[in-house]
A and B are shown apart, each in its own frame.
Chain A
Amino acid sequence: MPVRTAKILDLAQVIRSKNAGPFELTFDIMFEERLNYELVKQSGVITRELIARLYNVSNNAVLVCRAYDPALAIKITIRRPISSGDLGESDVYGCQQHVPLTTIEIPLAK
């Protein structure tokens, strides 16, 4: 039997990206329902390794990947491939880099 999964898009309320200073890109996955937050947090699916894979960067480039209970949020920060606005830039604010996160699926308990 394949494991049933839920799409992160159906569980989270906000999935966003933004610069954290010119050299980092930070992501927030935020939940309105505590149950959904706990489900995602407890699943252990969102790890540095997953983020590195989704963004095709090395594990070392993933600087932060943690749950933050007070805001019902998962916080992820990666090193920016280039500094904000450098030659080759595509998103100065870094606010449209969230999409790979929207493909995450969370296994549901049996």
Chain B
Amino acid sequence: MDEIVGLAPSGSLGSGYNLDAFKAGLEDGPDFIGQDAGSTDMGPYYHGTASMFLPRATYKHDLSTMLRAARERKIPLIVGSVFTSGARKQLMDGVEVIREIAREHALSFRVAVIDAELDKTDLKRRVAAAGGLESLGPEHGLGDEVIDRCGPICAQMGVEPIVRALEEGAEVVIAGRACDDVLFAALPIMRGFDRGLALHMGKILECAGISAVPCDLAEPMIGRIRRDHFVVRPGNAAHRCTTISVAAHSLYERGDPCIQPGPGGINDLTHTVFEQEDERTVRVTGSAFVPDKVYRVKLEGAELVGQRSVVMVGIRDAIMIRQLDEVLEAARQRALKRFPMWQEQRCVLDFHVYGRNAVMRNLEPEKNAVPHEVGLLIEAVAGTQELANAIAMYVRGTLQHASYPGIITTAGNLAYPFSPFNIPVGPAYRFSAYHLLPLADPCEIFPMQMIDVKN
């Protein structure tokens, strides 16, 4: 039949996946295996530092099974956003992991390595040439100073660089930051299948079993695209896709279920129809890609805002809890006096009051509840780690022996869960680059290197 079958092992590389269901998926004769390996979801730290979210060994463990299965069947393995933010440092780690697996299992193949990190000088020139960039979130534009303060800045590649790698004979593709759906849409689009359907199938597959029932990221999924529709179903015979579970995936982590922007255009799901094909399989039609006039890719980068330090304590005394706001404010005022370099060192002191409003902060509707116990996370951010530690510990000491009306606990106010009390957290970041960069050629900022791995 005129179709392409894609296998998605896991919605989160490194978290493990159901190997029996993966084997069942392989029985369906996939034409490729796709795997997303990154996200902005875990916050700006991983983008700022270009560090991996999970231990390296967990990525290697998960990739090893996929790579061996792909080589055994001579089908491409396509991995994107390696590992976490998809910056060059992580990409090189990914290449090294692939080389190690190949060595250990005597595998030989052609691997395409696609870089998604921008050279900052080139980026500044591009921003200037474009007359500034449209922001998708930050209130500021992407000026030179912001670019300089950011860690690595990556662009989310579209389908074109992956297609190019496959066209040039790559048997394994290791890509830096990539829009997650394109990893699964590349081979279908290269073979002339409909772009809207291919991207929609990719969007579903990249989260693996999350669009099945029961919903589970660690359950492999199989997608089968044909000329006018695609079908999806989970590898695990005990799980199933329903029209609702698959349609609901259009909602997941997306602002609008019907209008889904990506590199170079919008995938319009307004007229998408979901039908139950059999008990475990859902058939999807009608998703339509609408190209933008100007091809643009999303930039991602996080800027350093200081060094963070925390102290976690518990408070059980009802008299103190009743006047906690006043006690905390008094401690803050003392800290401001004690550290005169506050402004200059961009110091920030924050109290997370667990048991009251630490989870929802300003969005919390229950503002007046008085808990019987609170967890207090004292957070300090400053220009140096030393100063952040000093502030966190100074505030802790102040609170430990703070006096307030009616106090009965004159031997100490805070309960510590362990020693040492202070945890230096390291650099703190904020997403600052989240802008759209126009490109003349969708591949022009995504250089590819083809490597022959021989064992």
Contact = CB atoms under 8 A, between A and B. Distances in A.
A56 B44 CA distance: 26
B137 A22 contact: yes
Interface residues of A, number: 40
A28 B360 contact: no
B363 interface: yes
B363 A75 contact: no
Contact of A68 (B243, B258, B358, B429): B258
A33 B41 CA distance: 31
B244 A72 contact: yes
Interface hub of A64, A83, A103 (most chain B Cβ within 10 A): A83
A67 to B, nearest CB: 10
Contacts of A20: 253-255
A50 interface: no
Interface string A76-90: 010001011111111
Contact of B381 (A63, A64, A87): A87
Contacts of B272: 70
Given A23-B431, A70-B247, A84 B44 contact: yes
Contact of A97 (B43, B254, B302, B363): B363
Contacts of B250: 68, 70-71
Interface in A54-110: 54-56, 63-64, 66, 68, 70-73, 75, 77, 81, 83-93, 96-97, 99-100, 103
B244 A22 contact: no
Interface string B2-18: 00000000000000000
A83 B363 contact: no
A30 B248 contact: yes
Contacts of A89: 43
Contacts of B360: 90-91, 96-97, 99
Interface string B185-222: 00000000000000000000000000000000000000
A83 B431 contact: yes
A84 B431 contact: yes
Given A85-B43, A87-B305, A24 B431 contact: no
B331 to A, nearest CB: 18
Contacts of A19: 40-41, 253
Nearest to A67: B257
B274 A70 contact: yes
A4 to B, nearest CB: 24
A61 B345 CA distance: 32
Nearest to B254: A20
A77 B256 contact: yes
Contacts of A77: 255-256
B431 A88 contact: no
A58 to B, nearest CB: 13
Contacts of A63: 255
A18 interface: yes
Given A64-B256, A84-B44, A92-B43, A100 B431 contact: no
B405 interface: no
B138 A83 contact: yes
A91 B257 contact: no
A55 B362 CA distance: 8
Contact of B136 (A23, A66, A71, A93): A23
Given A90-B360, A103-B365, 5 more contacts: A22-B434, A23-B137, A70-B274, A83-B430, A85-B45
15 contacts: A20-B255, A68-B257, A70-B247, A71-B248, A71-B250, A75-B251, A77-B256, A81-B363, A83-B430, A86-B431, A87-B348, A88-B361, A91-B359, A100-B363, A100-B365
